Chain A
Amino acid sequence: MSVNTLWEQCLTYLENEFLNANTPQQFNTWIRPLQATDNKGELVLLAPNRFVLDWVKEHFIEKINNAIAALSTTSPPPTVAFEIGSMSAAPKIQAVTNVAATSSATGQQNRETTAEQNNYQSNINRNFNFETFVEGKSNQLALAAAKQVGNEPGGPNNPLLIYGGVGLGKTHLMHASGLQLLANDPSAKVLYLHSERFVAEMVRALQTNKMNEFKHFYRQVNALLIDDIQFFAGKDRTQEEFFHTFNALFERQQQIILTCDRYPKEISGMEERLKSRMGWGLTVAVEPPELETRVAILMSKAQQFNIELAYEVAFFVAKRIRSNVRELEGALKRVIANSKFTGHAITLEFVKESLKDLLYLQDKLVSIDNIIKTVAEYYKIKVSDILSQRRNRSVARPRQMAMALSKELTNHSLPEIGDAFGGRDHTTVLHACRKMKELVESSMDVAEDYKNLNRILTT
């Protein structure tokens, strides 16, 4: 019996043992993830990381040895060794394409992945291209910049820094630029990675004395795309290393694209010299999409999923789900799954039914009470002030803001909104909405407050 067959039998044996002890969870956490491999007749069990390895050795080694002793057909039974690593099988779903990949790790044992081994992986996701990106007022500047960089890398827009809230398409734009760079020059070394991986690989390089390889690897690329650089905050050594990588690439006019969840100057724990360099090229914001863009996004996603979506249905969903593109996509996926598993056509009624829970939740999250509370907190006044009859500006302005937001974010009628604000007339609500519209257009401060509150209430 091969050691792999032996381990398979051990798994069945141990699964039952854990079931009998009423702890199938323990089995699925610690035993099932172990992968067996044969080292000249020795059974090597691979644990994905140090923590799992230590835990298994400390808690389950006896159980494992007993199972092996009971099931092995050889005498003495094979010895067992533990190592960190995993047999990385090919993914089940093929979405990410390592565009410049020339070697495949399928079925290969992938023990210690070093930067050098990743040489050929660009990590660019083909699905995140310009064609599938929906343009709107909220993102058109960022889109134009990403295209420009994709076509003319290393120019005045180096580095390109895209910032904005969660789920608004920053990563998508970054990949799309990368794809464009590759389309223009298939031999270009374009590397996408999340900031966390940069940190992790640097730590590993430090531990294994491979800093020179690390430095060389990142400094020889033609374009470096790093996502969510806010996670560099507080990590001084990473920042130091990134700073030098940045300089090396910049001097050679190689393109750098970064994303961040806020305006980079606002990141605390980030070195000034790094912040200042990030501002050397072009910094663009992506804002939450407006209604028309949300509708267009839904229509485009539906097309990608090969689903026919009526405009009125897309409009309904987009009107109700305002926070970010991910949630919009989640809602659409839910509708599609329901339709697929019930065989029902995607009509407006069907969508209302499918998204009942989600819509109920949205309504609850943006109830008038919640709006009043949030606005009061924002302006540091009391809820009772908003509901009071007082008319001085420090109270009246927040009140009008809360009324306008109630009309914008809920489906309540004007008389209902008036009632909720201490029994006011619906014409007062109407006046407040008109006044706010006017102020948002004429005053930067009010526009900023309105935008902030909208974001707080809908994300």
Chain B
Amino acid sequence: MNPQQLPLAGLPLRDSATFESFFAGKNTQVVSVLQAMITGDYPEQFIFLWGEAGAGISHLLQACCHSAAEQQLASMYIDLQHKADYSPQMLEALEHFQLICIDDIDLILDDPQWQQAIFHLYNRLRDSDRQLIVTAHQPPQTLDILPDLRSRLSWGLCFQVQSLSDEEKIQALQLRAHNRGFELSGEVAQFILRRVPRDMKQLFIIFDTLDEAAIQAQRKLTIPFVKHVLGV
């Protein structure tokens, strides 16, 4: 068996969370800065990203880890949504990694232990010249956390990741379809957008459902087919 073919065997290859598969919209500068930061072309150690749910922030963090791996750099992604299962101990010794991504820091507002652990991690990363990207749904200055940590989070580059407009959401769906090897017409995309929850996370989940249904039925994604699958 040729190992190179393994990922394709039996399972369809889904959209990898990379910069290429990210529809940037108004966020082209954020994407450029992140890319340049990881390749070492932009000398920044700390980036804070904030924006609404569904703006694509988690995707960007996955893309950063992926890109770091392409540069042979060690990275780790930590999603604080799972903090109940995790422990601040998982942050120990992470200063040996080039890049750490911490998602949803606003979920530890009531958790001094996590805040302290992240504060200490920040210092260790700074002293070891490593990079850290932290995200939240609000800007760092408004986070009700350990003041030492809050001021550190406003120290680096801070960007708001803008949510996509409806027009851009259509383009994002089309990009995803294109990456999967088919073209989605504007009308069909528009049709989907008008009938389902419009945040990108939900939209992509529905898009996946539609795509799978189309593959199984060996049909194209047309308005009648979408109607049929979504039951609208």
Stretch in contact with the other chain, from B11-19, B166-174, B182-190, B215-223: B11-19
| B139 on interface, CB distance cutoff 8 Å | yes
* Pairwise interchain contact B142-A95, C-beta atoms closer than 8 A: no
B74 close to A361 (CB less than 8 A): no
A32 to B157, Cβ gap below 8 A? Answer: no
List A contacts of B131 (CB < 8 A): 92-93
State how many angstroms separate the Cβ of B63 from the closest Cβ of chain A. 10
Alpha-carbon separation in the docked complex, A71 to B4 (Å): 9
Choose, from A15-23, A182-190, A270-278, the stretch at the interface: A15-23
What is the distance, in angstroms, from B70's C-beta to the closest C-beta of chain A?
11
Q: How far is the CA of A22 from the CA of B59 in the complex (A)?
A: 12
B44 at the A interface (CB under 8 A): yes
Give the nearest-CB partner of B17 in chain A: A24
Kindly identify which residue among B29, B87, B141 contacts A51, using a CB–CB cutoff of 8 Å: B87
Inter-chain contact B74/A87, CB cutoff 8 Å: yes
Of the stretches A335-343, A387-395, A412-420, the one at the interface is: A335-343
Contact partner of A330 (CB less than 8 A), chosen from B17, B29, B158, is: B158
**Would you list 29 pairs from A and B whose C-beta atoms are within 8 A, ordered by A residue?**
A9-B3, A13-B3, A16-B11, A17-B11, A19-B14, A24-B17, A29-B77, A32-B69, A33-B75, A49-B90, A49-B94, A89-B72, A91-B129, A92-B98, A92-B130, A93-B43, A96-B126, A125-B127, A166-B147, A326-B154, A327-B141, A334-B158, A338-B29, A340-B42, A357-B139, A357-B160, A358-B141, A362-B141, A459-B151
Q: Which of A19, A231, A326, A341 contacts B151 (CB under 8 A)? A: A326
CA–CA, A358 and B139, complex, Å: 9
B116 closest partner in A (C-beta): A231
Give A167 to B14 CA distance when docked, in angstroms.
Answer: 44
* CB-based contact B73/A92 at 8 Å: yes
> Beta-carbon contacts of A318-340 to B below 8 Å, as 1s and 0s?
00000110110110011001101
Selected contact of A48 from candidates B14, B73, B93, B128, CB within 8 Å: B93
Across the interface, do B148 and A329 meet the contact criterion of CB distance under 8 Å?
no
Residues of chain A within 8 A of B128, CB atoms compared? 91, 96
Q: Lowest 3 CB-CB distances: which A-B pairs, in order?
A: A91-B129, A28-B77, A16-B7
A52 touches B (CB below 8 Å) = yes
Give chain B residues whose Cβ lies under 8 Å from the Cβ of A86. Answer: 74, 93, 96-97
Question: A333 to B129, Cβ gap below 8 A?
Answer: no
- What are the interface flags for B9-44 relative to A under an 8 Å C-beta threshold, 1 for contact and 0 otherwise? 001111111000000000001001100000010111
Interface size on A, residues (CB 8 A): 68
Contact between B73 and A25, CB atoms less than 8 A apart = no
Report the separation of the CA atoms of residues A166 and B16 in the bound assembly, to the nearest whole angstrom.
Answer: 40
Closest to A52 in B: B90
User: In whole angstroms, what is the CA distance A96 to B125 when docked?
Assistant: 11
CA distance A87 to B131 in the complex (A): 16
Contact across chains for A16 and B123 when beta carbons are under 8 A apart: no
Chain B positions within 8 Å of A341 at CB level = 29, 32-33
What residues of B have a CB within 8 angstroms of the CB of A93 in the complex? 40, 43, 45, 129, 131
- Give Cα A167–Cα B116 distance, bound, in whole angstroms: 16
Interface presence of A11 (CB below 8 A) = yes
Cβ-neighbour of A94 out of B11, B129, B142, B156 (below 8 A)? B129
**A29 to chain B: which residues have CB within 8 Å?**
76-79
Q: A96-B128, A167-B151 are in contact. Are A88 and B96 (CB under 8 A)?
A: yes
Q: Does A406 contact B (CB under 8 A)?
A: no
CB of B14 within 8 A of CB of A32, answer no
Q: Which residues of B (29-69) have their CB < 8 Å from a CB of A?
A: 29, 32-33, 40, 42-45, 58, 61-62, 65-66, 69
Check A91 against B98 for contact (C-beta < 8 Å).
yes
List the A side residues contacting B65 at CB < 8 Å: 28, 32
Q: B180: CB under 8 A from chain A? A: no
Judging by beta carbons under 8 Å apart, are A330 and B58 in contact?
A: no
Assembled-state Cα–Cα distance A330/B69 (Å): 28
Of the candidates A13, A33, A197, the one whose C-beta lies within 8 Å of that of B74 is A33
Number of interface residues of B (CB under 8 A): 72
Q: Contact between B129 and A96 (Cβ–Cβ < 8 Å)? A: yes
Closest residue of chain B to A13 (Cβ to Cβ) is: B6
CA distance A304 to B155 in the complex (A): 16
Q: How far is the CA of A326 from the CA of B91 in the complex (A)?
A: 24
Q: Are B129 and A71 in contact (CB under 8 A)?
A: no
Contacts A28-B76, A49-B89, A94-B129 given; does A89 touch B98 at CB 8 Å: yes
Chain B residue with minimal CB distance to A55?
A: B90
What is the CB-to-nearest-CB distance from B87 to chain A, in angstroms, rounded to a whole number?
Answer: 6
Q: Is the CB of A365 within 8 A of B16?
A: no
Contact A365 B76, beta carbon cutoff 8 Å? no
5 other A-B residue contacts (CB within 8 Å) besides A92-B73, A92-B130: A25-B77, A28-B65, A29-B77, A330-B154, A459-B151
- Rounded to whole angstroms, the CA-CA distance of A426 and B112 in the bound complex is 45
Contacts of A94 in B (CB 8 A): 129
Q: Which of A33, A51, A84 has the most CB of B within 10 A?
A: A33
Given contacts A196-B120, A365-B141, contact A166 B6 (CB under 8 A): no
Q: Is A35 an interface residue (CB 8 A)?
A: yes
Cα(A93)–Cα(B69), bound, Å: 17
Q: Can you name the residue of chain B whose Cβ is closest to the Cβ of A98? A: B127
- A241: CB under 8 A from chain B? no
Known: A25-B58, A32-B65, A167-B155. A12 touches B76 (CB 8 A): no
Chain A 343-401 residues near chain B, CB threshold 8 A: 357-358, 361-362, 365
Within 8 Å of chain B (Cβ to Cβ): is A261?
A: yes
Given A16-B13, A89-B98, A330-B158 in contact, is the A49-B129 Cβ separation under 8 Å? no
Q: In this assembly, does A123 line the interface, its C-beta being within 8 Å of a C-beta of chain B?
A: yes
Whole-angstrom CA separation of A327 from B1 in the bound complex: 56
User: Which residues of B are found within 8 Å of A13, using beta-carbon distances?
Assistant: 3, 6-7
Q: Find A110's partner among B40, B96, B139 (CB 8 Å cutoff).
A: B96
Q: A265 contacts the other chain (Cβ, under 8 Å)?
A: no
A362 to B139, CA, bound (A): 11
Contact (Cβ within 8 A) B74 A91? no
How far apart sit A261 and B116, CA to CA, in the bound complex (Å)?
Answer: 14
Cα distance, A196 to B93, chains bound together (Å) = 12
Given the interface pairs A50-B89, A333-B157, the reply to whether A324 lies near B141 with Cβ below 8 Å is: no
Residue in chain A with minimal CB distance to B88: A51
